[in-house]
Chains A and B, each alone.
Chain A
Amino acid sequence: MAKLDTSGVALRPDELRKIEAALGREPSVVELHAFDAQWSEHCSYKSSRHHLKALPTKGHDVVLGPGEDSGIVHLGEHNGERYGIVIAHESHNHPSQVVPFEGAATGIGGIVRDVLCMGAEVIAVADPLRFGNVDDPHSHARYVAQAAVDGISAYGNAIGVPNMAGDVYFDERFDDNCLVNVVALGIVKESEIIHSYAPKDADGWDIILVGKATDPSGFGGASFSSLTLDAADEDSNKGAVQVPDPFLKNVLMRASYAVFAYLRANNLTVGYKDLGAGGIMGCSAEICSAGGYGASIDLTKVNVALDGLKPEVIAIGETQERLIWTVPASITPEILRIYNEEFTLPQIAYNARAVVIGKVTNDKRYVLRHRGKIVMDVDIDVLTGSIRDELPFEAHQPGPAPTEYPFVTGVQLDELLERVLAHGDVASREPLYRRYDAVVRGATVIPRGAADAGVLAPVPGSPLGVALAVAGNPRFGHIDARLAAQHAVYEAVRSVVAVGAKPVALTDCLNFGNPRKVEHYTELVDAIDGLATAANAFETPFVSGNVSLYNEASNGKAIPASAIVSCVGALQDVSHVVTMSFKAAGSVLYFVGRPQEALGGSVVLDVLGRHEARLPLIDYAAILPQHALMQAAARAGLLRSAHDIGSGGLIVAVCEMAFPTLTRGHKAIGAQIDDPWQWTHGRVGNIEALFGEAGGFVIEVSANDVEAFEGLADDVEGVYEIGVTIGEPVLAVEDEAFDLRRLRDLWERPLREVYP
């Protein structure tokens, strides 16, 4: 018998031996590829799962924690029904580096399916992005940055899901490894959630595959994203190009909503799961094994785009736009009718359709047949069971004793401010996000850019609101993975607080280098610890997450530690929402937070060409009351506007609150900021006070509301009056007056270069 060819798979020799031991024989070709996909890092989380257990995942409002395709948190009630927000967060980094348009587009496609398959209506997407140095218009990094955004735009806009949040950072350390993370939100009545497993008494049920005809695209995708990008393999990477079809997806979504309505009208409980890594095999095995069942599938029944596909390609290829239902055979005809006749899938894309491909069984075997022959027959729990790679990492070493850095002095404020505003991480992101439809579905309360978090009113007829923000600063990640992860949670949480919402849940994607390199793996472990610390402090659980490893080019350069976080918040009444732009002259401005010396990872230091290895610290004991104050003030209608302090610091936040008032038809509103000494009393220098990135908020309170606000703020540490708004397009600070229109022009220009 010829020796099994294992050259096309990423499985290691020790893993191959484990498979043989489990099967009691050599695996077949199909089985080999199946384990290759299932045991890839992307599918199995073998290097991270045991560490991820440290993340808090439980909470009063958690309806469904991590474990299925999405997490679900309670939003509120309307007309006697409990509504849940469905949320999922994933990455599509490697494909986006190679074919950025398709890679990013299929990233959106995949995350949307994760939400859809919980029985939810998809209501929003978000895109945290990390690109390389885009200064050179002919660079690969510039091409990736443009084409990835085009892909996200083309896909999200066509399916009619608004982009409500996102961010972007540019850093040469992402030159060879961009990060394209995606988040999706859905809305569902909690009584109507559909789970990702075959439910009780499902033995003998039909397994229905619905969606695009299976083709060879994406074969090798799961293991592809679990390897480092090697320039020499560029040519073979093309086998893994996944092809987006948002037109088909649009129809699939609406057809699925019709199926949901049918199921609800008939009080039926079924299983629904989307296909991702591992294709038909991965999805069908997981939906059945999670319910305690086996599965028997005939690959010959699968709708294919061309003849002659090998069984392993049919079984494991990652053709996009596909989902699987497990349903009682009695309702199969109606499911097929809805997809194939009412929504005419076969006319939408070549051989797209819903078709029965197999049955749920009760024997815990996973069996695939092709043209009458059995090509796979394994214990289903061995196939889907968790595997674990115990990899070495270094127990966290306390960092070097913080060096006393002198306060920054001797710099001209005007020049510094202009350069900070024009910095790639501060400049207006509007040129990028205006490529995204932010208002389709008519539910948008705050579109991206008008505040720190996007806000929707997703339940027609109800004032309930949902907020979403993302965060994860790579300049921090480069310095300290653990503290940067804490900052990611802190920034996402405070962005939600800034709009008057209550943070209810978190998601995370851990984007790191090669787990088989101690220093990269240690960063991953440290980051997980940082996420856990912050989430516990804020009492906000993680309900969904993703891990993307091997973000390392062949020369060994890894990306900055990138724990990227999203925070979802709830508002009982969107009437109380707070936006970012100044509302009137003569208001009082406050800084809520604490000025700190540390400028490590800050834009101002980058502009000055200096380096500091010390990140700002996070004092949860002080922050929690500050957040409670923000929420109470928002509910009482005392906040005219609010902005969290992020890249560029307090003075940039003030500018960003003024800029929207400079458009034609608005009354220009500027600000007069007191000498920072008035609120720092010399504890930090003026540059640290104005440009420090320790967090916090700038808020605008009407002169009439000062008494009420200061009453609420009485016991809260870290509330400083810093100035007033004025009726001119001017920013006055220290002895200087800056023309806000000029500053806005400098701020608007940089990203227009990349996104005209």
Chain B
Amino acid sequence: MKRRIAVVIFPGTNSEGETVRLLRDCGGDAHLVHWSRSVTLPEYDAYVLPGGFAYEDRIRAGAIAAHDSMMDHVIDGATAGKLVFGICNGAQVLLEAGLVPGTGEVRRPTAAFTRNAPVPHFVNAFVWVKLAIAPSRCRITASLPEGALIPAWSSHGEGRLAADEAHLREIEAGGHVAFQFAHADGSVDAGAVPNGSALGVAGLVNREGNVLAIMPHPERDGWTFNHPDRRRGDDILAPSGGAVLFKSFVEAVNQA
């Protein structure tokens, strides 16, 4: 049975088009929900927060959007066990809202995706991210193979996971590191990390496993035509590459 997925649009969001298209191409019943229609959010079964620059990242990335009334509904939904998937700016909003790693109170963040290091600039780069948890640890990744390597684009200036030592230990120990940056051969080391992210983190999951926040964009490598040098002769309009994560999400949503 198809559940309804809301792709949440804040003022300044900019990746909603390709996000909703890929969800649909992967079998999801996805709908754009605009900030002036936030009251309809409780009607949806799952939420996706796409990439962009909500409120132009003023003050801090995700800081203002976290207080938006849209997030009241997303927080309620997450607390009730609905699946929530945040990508890039969406991930930043989830951190500022305290939904990931989820080790503190709502809207009292215990970590941040902050200014890249050592070079504090926006960087656009193709990356690989590796599943760092058992697939079943997170309902959204449950259909992925162990150690899945997913292609994506890292396109951000504030993507470095940062927190004080105690919270970083907590993140590690609690199995919150869902994805790490990796090389094409699947190896994980500092050289694969484009933004200085602590623990090489590319994605975080909460305790309950229903909220996933990932910094790179799998949907930008989501169709075969997005990667002409890696797939020749296939149906270029078909979802592939990064779509594998979207497929896993949609399966989890429809099974719920």
Contact = CB atoms under 8 A, between A and B. Distances in A.
| Touching chains A and B, CB distance < 8 Å | yes
A157 interface: yes
Interface in B7-37: 11-12, 14-15, 17-19, 21-22, 34-36
B119 A158 contact: no
B39 interface: no
A439 B53 contact: no
Given A435-B122, A445-B225, A665 B36 contact: no
Contacts of A159: 14
A28 interface: no
B52 to A, nearest CB: 6
* Majority DSSP secondary structure for residues of B touching A: mixed
Interface residues of A, number: 48
A666 B22 CA distance: 28
B220 A439 contact: yes
Interface string B134-170: 0000000000000000000101000000000000000
B124 interface: yes
Interface residues of B, number: 42
B223 interface: yes
Given A159-B14, A756-B119, A756-B121, A445 B56 contact: no
Contact of A440 (B155, B225, B228): B155
Contact of B53 (A247, A445, A463, A574): A247
Interface string A554-595: 000000000000000000011101010101000000000000
Contacts of B185: 664-665
Nearest to B234: A575
A581 B236 contact: no
A5 interface: no
A153 interface: yes
B190 to A, nearest CB: 13
Most interface-central of B220, B221, B222 (chain A CB within 10 A): B220
A571 B105 CA distance: 52
Contact of A437 (B19, B34, B35, B155): B155
Contacts of B155: 157, 437, 439-440
Interface stretch (A168-176, A339-347, A616-624): A339-347
B183 A442 contact: no
A579 B228 contact: yes
Given A158-B56, A247-B56, A460-B21, A442 B220 contact: yes
A443 B183 contact: no
Given A574-B236, A664-B185, A457 B14 contact: no
Contact of B51 (A341, A440, A460): A440
Contact of B18 (A157, A441, A445, A461): A441
Given A344-B35, A463-B237, A439 B153 contact: yes
A55 interface: no
A434 B36 contact: no
A251 interface: yes
A341 B228 contact: no
Given A157-B122, A439-B124, A442-B223, A665 B11 contact: no
A447 B124 CA distance: 10
B243 to A, nearest CB: 11
A344 B36 CA distance: 8
Nearest to A153: B122
B256 interface: no
Contact of A160 (B15, B119, B236): B15
A433 to B, nearest CB: 8
A324 interface: no
B58 interface: yes
B228 A250 contact: no
Given A246-B56, A457-B236, 20 more contacts: A157-B53, A157-B122, A157-B155, A251-B11, A343-B36, A347-B11, A433-B124, A434-B125, A439-B220, A439-B226, A442-B18, A442-B22, A442-B219, A442-B222, A450-B229, A462-B237, A575-B225, A581-B229, A665-B183, A755-B121
Interface of B: 11-12, 14-15, 17-19, 21-22, 34-36, 51-53, 55-56, 58, 119, 121-125, 153, 155, 183-185, 191, 217, 219-223, 225-226, 228-229, 236-237
9 nearest A-B pairs in the assembled complex, by CB-CB distance: A160-B14, A665-B184, A442-B18, A247-B56, A439-B220, A158-B53, A437-B155, A439-B153, A457-B225
19 contacts: A157-B122, A158-B53, A160-B52, A246-B53, A250-B11, A341-B36, A342-B34, A344-B11, A434-B124, A435-B121, A437-B122, A438-B124, A440-B15, A440-B220, A444-B226, A445-B228, A457-B236, A581-B229, A756-B119
